Structure 1
Amino acid sequence: MEAAVLAVALGFLLLARGSVGDEARETEAVRQLVVRLLGPEPAADFLVSVERELATEAGLDTYKLSGGGSGIPVRVRGSTGVAAAAGLYRYLRDFCGCQVAWSGSQLRLPRPLPALLQELTEATPNRYRYYQNVCTHSYSFVWWDWARWEQEIDWMALNGINLALAWSGQEAIWQRVYLILGLTQSEIDKHFTGPAFLAWERMGNLHTWGGPLPRSWHLKQLYLQHRILDRMRAFGMIPVLPAFAGHVPKAITRVFPQVNVFQLGSWGHFNCSYSCSFLLAPGDPVFPLIGSLFLRELIKEFGTDHIYGADTFNEMQPISSDPSFLTAATAAVYEAMISVDPDAIWLLQGWLFQHQPQFWGPAQVKAVLQAVPRGRLLVLDLFAESHPVYMQTASFYGQPFIWCMLHNFGGNHGLFGALEAVNQGPRAARIFPNSTMVGTGIAPEGIGQNEMVYALMAELGWRKDPVPDLEVWVSRFASHRYGMSHPDAEAAWRLLLRSVYNCPGETYNGHNRSPLVKRPSLQINTIVWYNRSDVFEAWRLLLTAAPNLTTSKAFRYDLLDVTRQSLQELVSLFYEEARIAFMKEELDLLLRAGGIITRKLLPALDELLASDSRFLLGTWLNQARAMAVSEDEAQFYELNSLYQLTLWGPEGNIMDYANKQLAGLVADYYQPRWGLFMEALAHSLARGVPFRQHEFEKNVFPLELAFIINKKRYPSHPQGDTVDLSKKLFLKYHPQAGSL
């Protein structure tokens, strides 16, 4: 792409900054962040200011750091509030050895504050640092209150995020629109999914399942959205609001009998009772009517920053591959946007192009990308660390794009990642011939895991080149995390870097596929890309470091997580023993291996998880219950949450996709079904009859369903000591335990 053409495209994107707050507001927002983060007294040692003129000639965010030392405050200046916050965190991380993370922060400041010998200036190499996936709102954010949202927006600012989805509260706006159009409340209630499944209703994949939404839900989400938007804008972030993608409730056909709609195919093993969405034909006059009405109501309620997200064909094959149809369908969405907001820019998840490559050939991809003026479509190359699309589409045929790391599907626990692909990917995209890359992105389906991966990706948003030595980087990560340098802890992280975090990018799938969290069968693949011995050795090294680090909440979290991973690896190994024993018809060996899984490893794992509130099912469910205004509503939200963690749909439609390893879930869900599976295998051998998977699934489904509907309350306070439990398990199961 010629430089002049790219400049025109990027010029459109500058329009999105038009409604960002002024310097004084952003300065005050960062000052308040410093107080929340460090406390009033330490915060007084930092002088923060936002000065627009600090931006580069190309308008790129810049920060400057100076000062420090005995009696001298640290001065943090940024071109935006986000840039200033990122500069603050750079100082805290690289000069004070601190870390801010989901699992807890380490903020022990040295006294006096370290002096900067000369002013440090850093400019980001790209315009945007993007955050979120549409699915994150359901897998991680769904039950959050404002206190938790405030923490997350602070994390976003410190990590330099300046572009993020802000999709809460949209169902309240849609309800207004549908009522204006003539739908009844009953028809609207039948359309919306439950809270835990709204991400897929928003993308047209689902309707009805897990609903209806209570009135109190709409009121609370409106309140949250206003606070979220106020805080994002105060930092100078650009919130991405939703727009109309073309999907409509079935009841539209009653209100407009002549309307031209297409019924798309089913999604995710759901039948048409919950899927098969209705898509308005692009030429139908109802399309611009609904699209413009929704956007007007949305902007009237929330204002706008001119970037809108919409996904018409997410994991759903269009009814036609004819480029003219795809062009018309895309243009209809965009035209509905600009009819209300002439400055509108469309943020499109590029997931569809790599998810169904057999459908999305060059002609089809061009039809979508070229239906919108160049620079008015901003594409997320959503899974670029594994399946980048920009290389197959000549940089999305001239449309600007953001190189994103997806990393995690379903919010699964489990240590995994493709760190080298992540490290090298943004620069490779930036120097790609005629590249139209305008940013980097963090786009996981679920957060709160594998924090090292996200720390690296956030840092890459401010780096022009890859981290030169990941082993050195990860050692520094460990010392920042624990507030001190410890050789064994750092060696443990280097082992994890070369093992679980060293998946080749092209083979990385972002799921935890351990047998532990899958419905049992004889067909589960236990092959991994790393040596399990590295995980076990990392476990040993962390325990060796434990006497010096037990006061660190982050260390206790990591020790539990690595112990959990080690037990997960052991489950895989004993599952293989059980499978081989069954194939060889060796009943005694089958019973031994099965017994170790069901009566030793899984109970031990549940006990370990119960020692930390961050791994409790009760903590997870209490978040859902806290959103309710009545006990009936609390039970409804809890049911939504339990379905998502397990069966996902009423018949196990997307079974175990959102698997977690939580105390209570392991004991009452994973363990009983593994017990039933091992019993079925033993029964088969003892009686000389074939094992039939379909019969087992028929028998295990009532057990799975009973777990969801039994209304059992789970503890939300931890029990036991993580370090003691981990050491006992190590001494029992590690092949070289005597060396500890």
Structure 2
Amino acid sequence: MKPGMCLLIILPYLLAFVPLVQSGSTQGLTDLVKRHLPIHAEDISFVLHEDNYTLGISNDQYTVHCDAGKVNVEGNSITALASGLHRYLADIAHVDVYWFIGSQLHQLQTLPPCEPLDGISIVPWRYHFNTVTFSYTTAFWSWEDWELELDWLALRGVNLPLAWVGYERILLETFMDVGLSQEQVLDFFSGPAFQAWNRFGNIQSSWLGELPVSWIDSQFELQKKILKRMVELGMTPVLPAFTGFVPRAFPVVFPEAKVVNISRWNGFSPEFSNVTFLEPSDSLFAQLQKNFVRKQKEYYGDITHTYTLDQFNENDPVSGDLVELNALANTVWRSLKEADPDAVWMLQGWLFFFKADFWTKERVKAFLDGVPEDKDMLILDLYSETYPQWQNLDSYFGKPWIWCQLRDFGGNQGLYGQVMNVTVNPVEALANSPSLVGFGLTMEAQEGNEIMYDLLLSQAWSPSPIDLPEYFHQWARTRYANAQDGDLPEAIFQAWDILLRTVYNNTDLVSAFSVTKSIFELAPNETGLLESPSHIPTKIMYDPSTLVSAWQRFLSAADTLPTLWSNVAYQFDLVDITRQVLANAFYPMYSTFLTHTNITSAGFDNETSLQVASQMQGQMLSLLSALDNTLRYTPSKSPESSLISWVNAARSWAGSNTSMADFMARNAVNQVTLWGPNGEISDYASRQWAGLVGAYYLPRWQMFTDTYLNAFRNRVSVNQTRLREDTFVWEKSQQEGVLVENMGELRDPGGLRDVVKRIEEEWCDVLGC
């Protein structure tokens, strides 16, 4: 289907989704240039043509002219202008802004000339964030962190970002206005690292202490800055709505209220789950909805009509009756429309995949049909790259929807991608679904595979699937470019070509359906680690030796061009690839260790097996120590790069309040370790971070391997139950102690060369160099 024909088909949907934020001012982009390119602030100009929007053609268009040291960007929206600027900076000037290493735009000394650049988006919306990203990634972000993120979003054409920060302040006031006390509401809120699941109605309260009011207030002030900047950069924020989840004291204050208790979630006790839900049919629901939305407009201004509202994220409705599901959705929709006549209900479509046994096609249709106006709903097909639901559900029965890349669960850091699915599939979906209105990134956490996020946002500007080898080549060229160095070594591009064909080209979605994690991050066990546990894949989907080859080429590039050792992007990626190479090497060590400590197969008197097992234990523990040491050289501007950075970012919100600082630190550590008071989701959000590897994972494997070696020497079987109990006691003590004593300090990346060279020398036999 030709792009023009596709535009005619989806035009009715585009008319309903013209971006609200079109201020007519380019000052936000001028300020972005001043932040990153102050010496060129007078040389880059923007011209905004909004005529196309008034005609209802909401796809973004830009044209860039650059000559004689001047760059002029023209476009029909602020987002189009930002996208045009990014095209020039990345493709022509070879500088960019990145998540972990920050802005590299300051490296641009002169503005190179170019032929005119033209671009038009193939979808009107580019969406970003998952509700849980606000816990797994941004929980402790400062304004400086958010500034970088928002500039990254703007330059990559994102115009529909989710905006959850500060939600608790609005909800606290809404509940107090109808008679609940502050203490009753505070008892409902979860800790800073777990607020996403409180907002979803999965959990309630905090097992680490009461959420401080000062935190609620500070997040509210931060939200005002975030939203102001989003609007300045041409984005339409998606704000939360009232979902219906209420404090456990609510039925005491309103004994006639229609409430039900949602079932327990992920094994949490009723104290922290079994959340009270106010049924939408109760008149209080509409009243609270109206008050909640009104407060947001009073505080933030009339900046959006799109609201995120998810009531059944991993929780089922009370009834599966088709009529009741239809009525439920209709009542929620009417509450939104009464609060904002132009409201659009945005729904994360995760429930239709995760609870597919409940959400049959008939039930989904009944529920969605409860919103009589298609334009009043927007569905995120949350996991399109792996488990798309739009085909099964007839393009959500006509409701506008967004093709999304989920990728990452809990912050896993494995090198991973599905490049074919992210380029071919969204283009095919656009040709076959008239109600598709956008592409989006819905990762649970932002991690180091930044190229995969760039790829989908770039695909939003190409009517045909992107040429992947060319894209990876250009991306690498820009990432490590430095005008003073000239051409990059060919070894850089050879390494990225290998990465494209291996770690970023997974097609076996049964064995690895998302970003992988290494088995050393999981609680040690003799079974269940190698075969990709159901919740997180661990299987290595490529020949590990090919990654070693890429690593060696990448490392050798700095021998050809020594200035790469001072290139922060090169430093970050070298650590990241080294991390994966070492993580892969842990697998055969683990397997060999188990084989030689099996008293049934090895025999009671097999001295050779004991020697091999002891050698493997030494290698496993040494490898984790070497990995932890390497990770300490990670150059990163993000809190989610090491345990000490994560904890310090949490503590920074407490100021001089020591008890609050400890509360924040316990939240930070609990999320990436036990995830719950009793390890309910233990290791789900595990991270390969400096400090966490050395102070948490390594001691667990020490305990595990010691137990097996002692059992082998004594010719007895290991008591797995006892081992798990002992390990859990140790985990609890580590978590309660906030792992502070063993976290260690980060190190200057200047020493990275010696560290990686030493790994190459000492571990090549094991790695297979």
TM range (shorter): over 0.9
C-alpha deviation, 1:531, in angstroms: 1.0
Secondary structure of the residue that 2:365 maps to in structure 1?
helix
1:726 equivalent to 2:741? Answer no
Is 1:537–2:549 an aligned residue pair?
yes
- With over 3 angstroms needed to count, the CA separation of the structure-2 counterparts of 1:146 and 1:596, relative to structure 1, is same
Task: Please say if 1:572 is aligned against 2:601.
Answer: no
Deviations 1:207-234 (A, max 9, x none): 1134522111122111111111111111
Inter-partner Cα distance in structure 2 for 1:211 and 1:184:
18
Residues 21, 234 of structure 1: 8 Å contact kept: no
CA distance in 2, matches of 1:5, 1:496: 38
Match of 1:232 in 2: 230
Residue 649 of structure 2 corresponds to residue 626 of structure 1: no
Distance in structure 1 (CA, Å) of the matches to 2:260 and 2:61: 48
2-side partners of 1:211 and 1:178: how far apart? 21
1:552-608 CA-to-partner distances (Å, cap 9, x unmatched) read 10000000011111110011121111122233333332222122112x101111111
Which sections of structure 1, spanning at least 5 residues, go unmatched? none
Q: Distance in 2 between matches of 1:505 and 1:232?
A: 38
* Residue matched to 2:606: none
Q: Does 1:93 align with 2:90?
A: yes
Q: Tell me, what secondary structure is at the counterpart of 1:404?
A: strand
Find the residue that maps to 2:228 and give its secondary structure.
Answer: helix
CA distance in 2, matches of 1:9, 1:211: 47
Show the 5 A alignment for 1:22-421: 22-24=23-25, 27-38=26-37, 40-53=38-51, 58-68=57-67, 71-104=68-101, 105-107=103-105, 113-117=111-115, 119-209=116-206, 210-304=208-302, 305-372=304-371, 373-421=373-421
Report the alpha carbon displacement of residue 303 of structure 1 after superposing the two structures with TM: 2.4
Secondary structure, counterpart of 1:191 in structure 2: coil
Question: What is the rounded CA distance, in whole Å, between the counterparts of 2:565 and 2:34 in structure 1?
Answer: 27
Contact kept in structure 1, 2:260 and 2:279, CA below 8 Å: yes
Change beyond 3 A, Cα 1:297–1:112: closer
2:431 pairs with 1:431: yes
Structure 1 CA distance for aligned equivalents of residues 185 and 209 of structure 2: 10
More moved, 376-385 vs 625-634: 625-634
Alignment partner, residue 514 of structure 1: 518
From 522, 525, 530, the counterpart of 1:525: 530
Would you say the 8 A contact 1:10–1:375 is kept in 2?
Answer: no
1:411–1:445 Cα contact (<8 Å) kept: yes
2:222, 2:104 → 1: CA distance?
A: 28
How far has the Cα of 1:633 moved from its partner?
0.9
Task: Report deviation, 1:103.
Answer: 2.4
Deviation at 1:5, TM superposition (A): 8.6
1:416-469 CA distance string (max 9 Å, x none): 12111111121011012x43110000111111411111121221122222112x
Q: Please give the per-residue CA displacement for 1:446-497, whole angstroms capped at 9, x wherever unaligned.
A: 11411111121221122222112x1222122111110043211111111111
Cα 1:563–1:131 change in 2 (3 A) is same
Preserved contact between residue 36 and residue 106 of structure 2 (Cα < 8 Å):
no
**AA aligned opposite 2:503:** V
| In 1: Cα distance, 2:191 partner to 2:727 partner | 25
CA distance in 1, matches of 2:177, 2:466: 54
Distance in 2 of aligned mates of 1:211 and 1:347 = 32
Provide the rounded CA distance (Å) in 2 between the counterparts of 1:722 and 1:2.
51
Structure 1 residues 518-539: Cα deviation after superposition (integer angstroms, max 9, x where no partner): 1111121253221111111111
TM-superposed CA distance for 1:43, in Å, is 2.9
Q: CA deviation at 1:411?
A: 1.5
Corresponding residue for residue 609 of structure 1? 631
* Count of equivalent residues: 727
Q: Which amino acid aligns with 2:513?
A: N
Q: SS where residue 358 of structure 1 aligns?
A: coil
The DSSP-based 3-state class of the residue aligned with 1:238 is: coil
Change (3 A) 1:6 1:72: closer
Conserved? CA contact 1:96–1:114, under 8 Å? yes
Partner secondary structure for residue 195 of structure 2: helix
Instruction: Give 1:194's aligned amino acid.
Output: G
- Farther-moved stretch of structure 1 (204-213 vs 85-94): 204-213
TM-score, normalising length: structure 2: 0.91
8 Å CA contact 1:515–1:575 kept in 2: the answer is no
**Corresponding residue SS for 1:706:** helix
Query: Aligned partners of 2:327, 2:541: CA distance in 1, in Å?
Result: 44
Counterpart amino acid of residue 553 in structure 1: V
Counterpart CA distance in 1 for 2:6 and 2:419 is: 32
The match for 2:498 is: 495
What is aligned with 2:536? none
Query: Amino acid of the residue matched to residue 243 of structure 2?
Result: A
| Mapped contact 1:613–1:716 kept (Cα < 8 A) | no
**CA gap 1:355/1:674 in 2 versus in 1, 3 angstroms:** same
Amino acid at match of 2:672: L
Structure 2's unaligned 5+ residue stretches are 482-486, 532-538, 603-608
Contact 2:166 2:219 in 1 (8 A): yes
Paired position in structure 2 for 1:465: 464
1:11-26 to structure 2, matched below 5 A, reads 11-14=15-18, 17-18=19-20, 20-24=21-25
Q: 1:3 and 1:82 mapped to 2: Cα distance?
A: 19
Q: 1:723 to 1:398 in 2, by over 3 A?
A: same
State the TM-score, normalized to the length of structure 1. 0.95
Contact 2:585 2:767 in 1 (8 A): no
Deviations 1:12-43 (A, max 9, x none): 323xx34x24212xx111011011122x2123
Q: 1:323 and 1:654 mapped to 2: Cα distance?
A: 33
2 CA distance for matches of 1:567 and 1:340? 54
Deviates more, 1:295-304 or 1:193-202: 295-304
Instruction: Give me the whole-angstrom Cα distance separating, in 2, the residues matched to 1:722 and 1:112.
Output: 31
> Residues 327 and 738 of structure 1: is their aligned pair in 2 closer, same or farther, counting only changes over 3 Å?
closer
Q: Hey, what's the Cα distance between the residues in 2 that align with 1:178 and 1:456?
A: 43
Shift of 1:58: 1.8
Measured after TM superposition, the shift of residue 65 of structure 1 is 0.4
The equivalent of 1:689 in structure 2 is 716
Is the contact between residue 606 and residue 662 of structure 1 (CA under 8 Å) also seen in structure 2? yes
Percentage of matched positions with identical amino acids: 34
Q: Distance in 2 between matches of 1:255 and 1:672?
A: 49
- Alpha-carbon RMSD: 2.1
Confirm whether residue 657 of structure 1 aligns to residue 684 of structure 2: yes
In the TM superposition, what is the alpha-carbon distance from 1:737 to its structure 2 partner?
8.4
State the alpha-carbon separation in 2 of the partners of residues 722 and 144 from structure 1. 27
In the alignment, is residue 701 of structure 1 matched against residue 728 of structure 2? yes
Amino acid in structure 1 at the alignment position of 2:590 = Y
> Can you list the C-alpha shifts for 1:317-343, whole angstroms capped at 9, x where unaligned?
222221222222222221111111000
